């Protein structure tokens, strides 16, 4: 990569990116109803190039969207004989307003007026401005720290600094210039996530892009007034998806059974599974999502203290429950001592995966510890019967011991299966998938 890229260079052709694996990196669900998305742009047009599709899709799903633009982009044509920086600033603010109106009329962008090209000198100001505005925010989107533009990097650094106090907010960063100067090997592939855009999202993004006339068209025929965004650069922003870089996954301590044993040593029920209304309600929702009254054989890795195991035991001929923590296993074994059809074993997934077939696999609050999701996906697939049902349920907020986000776990596990239930809340995701395409009404004779 080169920090000294030139927008006039030929750059990396879009065909190179289309031939890469970009279109198949993990897909994530964007902000939904009740979520609050804050988009930080360094210059007028970053918000559109990097995140217009996400903004349109989020607003359409009922998320609240705010857009903050750090500079007015007044330095885009320093040698223009026709447009002063002040005039450009005025035009570019108007372009962002029009672009955001094209995405959703409720979005009124806020401009901070920091000096274009000098955001690096104002990271502290930007951080102090952002901090109180993250209250209630669920998603923060900024330029990518390695985009090789100093203003983009400065915005990313301010966003990262402010996130230190609110780790539960998801921080996604969008590359812009990296598509131009970079090559596939320059990207942090394990941290890339994808948002697929509907045709409507894409049309809105295109309409928003059209608004940035000072950037995609010459200001005049005079030298110094050339377009900034040539067609070969714009080609990177017409994809059916947008790509974001997420924060580095935390190292998961799963391989260390001691970690969980210590958790249980501090508290017999570290997550309040028995006492918290939140946990009881979530279990009820999970059980209500099971598409059949009876199952032949269930597997529940990460069974913790066995509360869900006990409920599954009522509906399954056989249950295999496992956990890595000794204390948890003892509690589960005690709780289920009078249910001989329940087996409790010590084991850690995905390494200790049983060599059996199950028509029900329940992964509740366990997938985000997996360092390598593809191994977990393979194990689940290979042990699910042709009529098998997979139930997956995970906390959506960040936690220091999670190697994966709930979104990443669910999107990896659901691929190729038939959806029965999707339940999305601010706090957790619940998905029920089946190997078979039929519905509950069909299976139970309600529908012929």
Report d(CA 436, CA 414) in Å as an integer. Answer: 13
Q: Decide: helix, strand or coil at residue 170.
A: strand
How many residues touch Zn ion under the rule CB under 5 A: the total is 3
Structure tokens at 29: 């669900």
Binding segment (CB under 5 A) for Zn ion, from list 36-44, 234-242, 247-255, 431-439: 36-44
Nearer to Zn ion by Cβ, of 44 and 301: the residue is 44
Does the footprint of Zn ion cover residue 146 (CB under 5 A)? no
Does the footprint of Zn ion cover residue 123 (CB under 5 A)? no
Do 321 and 360 contact (CB within 8 A), yes or no?
A: no
Binding segment (CB under 5 A) for Zn ion, from list 39-47, 118-126, 186-194, 423-431: 39-47
H-only helix segments in 104-177: 123-130, 150-163
Q: How far is the CB of 369 from Zn ion (least distance, A)?
A: 37
Report d(CA 125, CA 120) in Å as an integer. Answer: 10
Does the footprint of Zn ion cover residue 155 (CB under 5 A)? no
Binding segment (CB under 5 A) for Zn ion, from list 34-42, 59-67, 269-277, 340-348: 34-42
Binding segment (CB under 5 A) for Zn ion, from list 45-53, 161-169, 290-298, 436-444: 45-53
Q: Decide: helix, strand or coil at residue 113.
A: strand
CA angle 367, 370, 376 (to 5 degrees): 75
Nearer to Zn ion by Cβ, of 211 and 336: the residue is 211
Closest CA to 328 of 343, 352, 345: 345
Nearer to Zn ion by Cβ, of 91 and 324: the residue is 91
The whole-angstrom distance between residue 309's C-alpha and the CA centroid of its chain comes to: 30
Does the footprint of Zn ion cover residue 95 (CB under 5 A)? no
Sign of the torsion formed by the C-alpha atoms of 91, 97, 101 and 103: positive
Is the bond preceding residue 350 a cis peptide, omega within 30 degrees? Answer: yes
Q: How far is the CB of 137 from Zn ion (least distance, A)?
A: 22
Do 164 and 41 contact (CB within 8 A), yes or no?
A: no
Report d(CA 41, CA 208) in Å as an integer. Answer: 15
Does the footprint of Zn ion cover residue 236 (CB under 5 A)? no
Closest CA to 253 of 309, 306, 325, 361: 325
Q: How far is the CB of 289 from Zn ion (least distance, A)?
A: 44
Q: How far is the CB of 208 from Zn ion (least distance, A)?
A: 15
Binding mask of the shown chain, residues 102 to 121, with x at each position contacting Zn ion by CB under 5 A? --------------------
Structure tokens at 394: 């995970």
Do 320 and 301 contact (CB within 8 A), yes or no?
A: no
Q: How far is the CB of 287 from Zn ion (least distance, A)?
A: 49
Does the footprint of Zn ion cover residue 43 (CB under 5 A)? yes
CA angle 111, 28, 33 (to 5 degrees): 65
Nearer to Zn ion by Cβ, of 42 and 430: the residue is 42
Nearer to Zn ion by Cβ, of 22 and 42: the residue is 42
Q: Residue 130: which region, alpha, beta or left (left: phi > 0; alpha: psi -120 to 50)? A: alpha
Q: How far is the CB of 155 from Zn ion (least distance, A)?
A: 9
Does the footprint of Zn ion cover residue 141 (CB under 5 A)? no
Q: How far is the CB of 43 from Zn ion (least distance, A)?
A: 4
Does the footprint of Zn ion cover residue 46 (CB under 5 A)? yes
Q: Name the residue number minimizing CB distance to Zn ion.
A: 43
Element (H, E) at 231: helix 231-234
Q: How far is the CB of 59 from Zn ion (least distance, A)?
A: 22
Binding test (CB under 5 A) with Zn ion, winner from 22, 28, 29, 42:
42
Q: How far is the CB of 352 from Zn ion (least distance, A)?
A: 49
The residues that touch Zn ion, with contacts defined as CB under 5 A, are 42-43, 46
């Amino acid at each position: 990569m080169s920090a000294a890229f030139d927008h006039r260079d030929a750059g990396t052709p879009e065909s190179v990116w289309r031939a890469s694996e970009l279109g198949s990196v993990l897909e994530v669900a964007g902000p939904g109803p009740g979520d609050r998305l804050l988009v930080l742009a360094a210059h007028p047009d970053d918000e559109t190039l990097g995140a217009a599709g996400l903004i349109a899709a989020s607003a359409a799903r009922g998320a609240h969207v705010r857009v903050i633009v750090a500079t007015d982009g007044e330095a885009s044509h320093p040698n223009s004989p026709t447009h002063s920086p002040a005039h450009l600033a005025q035009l570019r603010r108007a372009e962002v307003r029009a672009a955001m109106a094209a995405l959703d009329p409720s979005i009124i962008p806020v401009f901070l007026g920091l000096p274009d090209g000098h955001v690096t000198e104002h990271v502290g100001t930007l951080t102090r401005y952002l901090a109180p505005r993250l209250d209630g925010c669920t998603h923060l989107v900024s330029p990518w720290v390695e985009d090789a533009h100093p203003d983009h990097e400065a915005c990313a650094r301010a966003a990262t600094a402010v996130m230190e106090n609110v780790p539960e907010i998801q921080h996604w960063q969008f590359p812009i210039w990296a598509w131009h100067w970079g090559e596939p090997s320059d990207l942090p592939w394990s941290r890339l996530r994808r948002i697929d855009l509907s045709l409507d999202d894409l049309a809105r993004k295109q309409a928003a892009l059209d608004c940035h006339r000072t950037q995609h068209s010459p200001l005049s025929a005079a030298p110094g007034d050339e377009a900034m965004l040539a067609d070969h650069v714009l080609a990177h922003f017409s994809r059916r998806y947008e790509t974001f870089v997420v924060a580095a996954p935390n190292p998961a301590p799963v391989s260390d059974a001691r970690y969980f044993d210590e958790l249980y040593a501090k508290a017999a029920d570290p997550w309040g599974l028995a006492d918290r209304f939140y946990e009881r309600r979530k279990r009820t929702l999970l059980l209500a999502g099971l598409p059949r009254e009876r199952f032949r054989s269930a597997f529940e890795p990460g069974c913790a203290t066995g509360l869900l195991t006990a409920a599954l035991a009522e509906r399954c001929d056989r249950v295999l429950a496992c956990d890595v923590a000794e204390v948890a296993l003892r509690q589960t074994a005690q709780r289920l001592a009078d249910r001989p059809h329940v087996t409790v074993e010590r084991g850690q997934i995905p390494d200790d995966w049983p060599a059996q077939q199950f028509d029900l696999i329940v992964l509740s609050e366990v997938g985000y510890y997996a360092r390598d999701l593809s191994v977990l996906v393979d194990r689940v697939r290979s042990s699910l019967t042709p009529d098998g049902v997979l139930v997956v349920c995970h906390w959506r907020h960040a936690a220091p011991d999670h190697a994966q986000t709930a979104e990443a776990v669910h999107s990896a596990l659901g691929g190729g299966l038939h959806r029965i239930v999707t339940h999305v809340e601010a706090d957790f995701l619940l998905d029920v998938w089946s190997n078979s395409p039929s519905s509950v009404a069909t299976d139970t004779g309600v529908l012929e």
